[in-house]
Amino acid sequence: MKEVKEMLMLIEEKHQIFKQQQLRFIAALERSRESAHCQTRSVSSISEVQWYMTHCSNSTDQRAFSLFLELMSDLKVLFQMIDSLASAKNFSSGVLDTCRNILSPDCNFSELQAQYPHDVVNRLSCTEAKHYYAGVVSVIPVTLDLLSMAISQMQVRNEPISQTDITEKTAAVHEQNTLTNTSNNPHSSKHSYKAMHKGASGWKPLWRPPWRN
């Protein structure tokens, strides 16, 4: 788990750098989409971004594309680390299933919208830009949030039981056993006079306390 957390921190730091270059990345996408004659639809998948990168016209745009794709690759590595841990601990989560889908090269992430406290969508210049690029700028923070959630879920599940919890559970079991033993004891006051037989002098209990004999 330590390696997983360290990897998560490194990706978060790299993502901060990418956020500072978001406008450059969007500009690179704009130029590549224009060069590829494909400006009528939203950027919707990792494979599509890789294809746009082949239409880069300068090294600055290539660096912007490379940073995005490196982050997506790092997220996939982190997911695989978490998924391996989850399998070893027999832990399953819908969060991991969602991450697996998002990180698929052909997954359509165009409808993703990173919410507060993320501001990546709001930093897009206009409504048109949000329509085309909201998904591609949201996929990294959304995936980071999901992976962080998966880590938290695994940690909660693996938290050791405190001494207080053990004491309370032991007391509860002891109390339950006491009640069970009492209910099964034919000499308990609850059942002493329920078993009766009819003798010469009328109905009498099958069992009588010693002081009544």
Report the pLDDT averaged over residues 128-156. 92
Strand-pairing partners, residue 197, are 204
**Same domain (yes/no): 188, 124:** no
Instruction: Confirm if 121 and 114 have CB atoms less than 8 A apart.
Output: yes
The tens digit of pLDDT for each residue in 58-71 reads 999 999 999 999 99
The tens digit of pLDDT for each residue in 149-199 reads 999 988 886 654 444 544 554 455 456 555 555 555 555 444 433 444 444
**Same domain (yes/no): 186, 84:** no
Instruction: Confirm if 52 and 33 have CB atoms less than 8 A apart.
Output: yes
- Cα 209 from Cα 123, distance rounded (Å): 86
**Same domain (yes/no): 137, 180:** no
What pTM does this model have? 0.72
- What pLDDT is stored for residue 66 in this prediction? 97
- Band (23; pLDDT cuts 50, 70, 90): very high
Number of domains in the chain: 2
- What pLDDT is stored for residue 90 in this prediction? 87
